[in-house]
Amino acid sequence: MFTLMYLQEVFKSYNIPVDYFTIGFILWNYGCMGMICIHWKGPLRLQQAYLIMMSALMALVFIKYLPEWTVWTVLAVLSIWDLVAVLCPKGPLRILVETAQERNEPIFPALIYSSAMLYPYVLMTEPPQDNSGKTSDASSHGGTSHGESAQSTAELIPKTGSSQTAASKYSKEAKPQKSSGQRFAPNRGRKSPTSGQYGALEQSPHVDNSRSVEAARVLNQDETRRPRAASNSRPRQQVVEERGIKLGLGDFIFYSVLVGKASSYGDWNTTIACYVAILIGLAFTLMLLAVWRKALPALPFSIFAGIVFYFATREIITPFTSALSIRQLVI
């Protein structure tokens, strides 16, 4: 639906008439492909692309239709909630994570509800055995474990059903929900019995976590077939286990909202500052993740950093630089 609105706006601004048939056809294709890619199997890049598009569209909708202060308060409150929900032992998100881990289910399927699907966006990190570089491989896990976990998660639905802010991470419309803003290293210890493919695999060299979030996601596929990896001698499971860090889609949406809001003031300084702040927050969170190896909320650091930078830049830097350039001072 968001796509529809977006397309409508685009076409209006270009003054191109489009008929219902064409639009219907395009939408039908796009939607079906999206469903196929995300819920079932599909090429990895395509899945990532779809997730990104959906997140971006949602963020757009938020930016456009929410009043000013609501956005900021929502972001701030969400970060706090995220922090609380994941780290406190009673938090719903933590329960989800731990339940998934206890049952030894392969890839965090606990967020896949029977009514709506979860679209976790998966960022994989090689558990660096020797090498500490944080390269990530992106792979996805879609609804592969949908069937088996459907009943196991039924009990979790009422718990999480209550958290319903507009930006909530749980399903709002008929659309699939996004996973909460947490990420966790699907513990290697847990997974190694099931997948048997972990090992000192080499990282893909060109992946660098300091790249933009978007770019960082587009990474190599499963690392299972790096020929030079020593662990390839281990017997392969039938279903390739994917591992690594999973980043909830909700995270992306909020990052996008933050940056989008920042950019809507038309000031490049602010936008870039926010972007950088988010990246820094992300890198920091990843570091912490490597240290703790538990589910961590991905939101708080980045969002706090972003908000702080945003306001600071707006209030301070901009007049500063304008004054500088007006008076032609070079520092």
Partner 1 sequence: MDLENLNGAEKLLLCKKYFHLGLACLPLVWIVNFIWFFKYAFKVENFPQQDEIKKYVIGSAIGSIFWILILSIWVTVFQIFRIESPEIMDYITFVFPIGYK
Query: What's the DSSP call for residue 313?
Result: I
CB of 78 to partner 1, least distance (A): 31
Nearer to partner 1, 14 or 65 (CB): 14
Six token digits for residue 203 = 């990282």
Nearer to partner 1, 22 or 322 (CB): 22
The number of beta carbons lying within 10 Å of the beta carbon of residue 329 is 8
Give, for 157, the enclosing helix (H) or strand (E).
Answer: helix 156-160
CB of 70 to partner 1, least distance (A): 30
CB of 222 to partner 1, least distance (A): 5
Q: Assess contact for 93 and 108: CB atoms under 8 A.
A: no
> Long-range pairs for 205-214 at CB < 8 Å and ≥24 separation?
205/135, 207/135, 207/136, 207/137, 208/133, 208/135, 209/134, 209/135, 209/136, 209/282, 209/283, 209/286, 210/279, 210/283, 212/275, 212/279, 213/252, 213/255, 213/278, 213/279, 213/282, 214/52
Nearer to partner 1, 242 or 251 (CB): 242
Six token digits for residue 211 = 């790249």
Give ∠ CA 117-81-188 in degrees, rounded to 5.
60
Nearer to partner 1, 11 or 292 (CB): 11
CB of 160 to partner 1, least distance (A): 27
Six token digits for residue 9 = 């706006």
CB of 32 to partner 1, least distance (A): 5
Nearer to partner 1, 105 or 223 (CB): 223
The DSSP bridge partners found for residue 78 are: none
Nearer to partner 1, 23 or 80 (CB): 23
CB of 237 to partner 1, least distance (A): 10
Six token digits for residue 316 = 């301070």
Short-list 90, 63, 50, 83, CA closest to 249: 50
137 catalytic residue (yes or no): no
Question: Exposure pattern of 255-267 as b/e (b: 16+ CB <10 Å)?
Answer: bbbbbbbbbeeee
Given 82, 137, 208, 222, the catalytic residue: 82
Strand order in the sheet with 136-138: 136-138, 121-125, 246-247
Given 19, 130, 137, 251, the catalytic residue: 251
Q: Assess contact for 185 and 136: CB atoms under 8 A.
A: no
Alpha-carbon Rg for the chain, nearest whole angstrom, is 21
Residue linked to tokens 């988010």: 278
222 catalytic residue (yes or no): no
Site residues for partner 1 per CB under 8 A: 8, 11-12, 15-23, 25, 28-30, 32-33, 36, 41-44, 46-47, 139-140, 142, 221-222, 224-225, 240
Nearer to partner 1, 49 or 66 (CB): 49
CB of 217 to partner 1, least distance (A): 15
Kindly list the catalytic residues. 82, 251
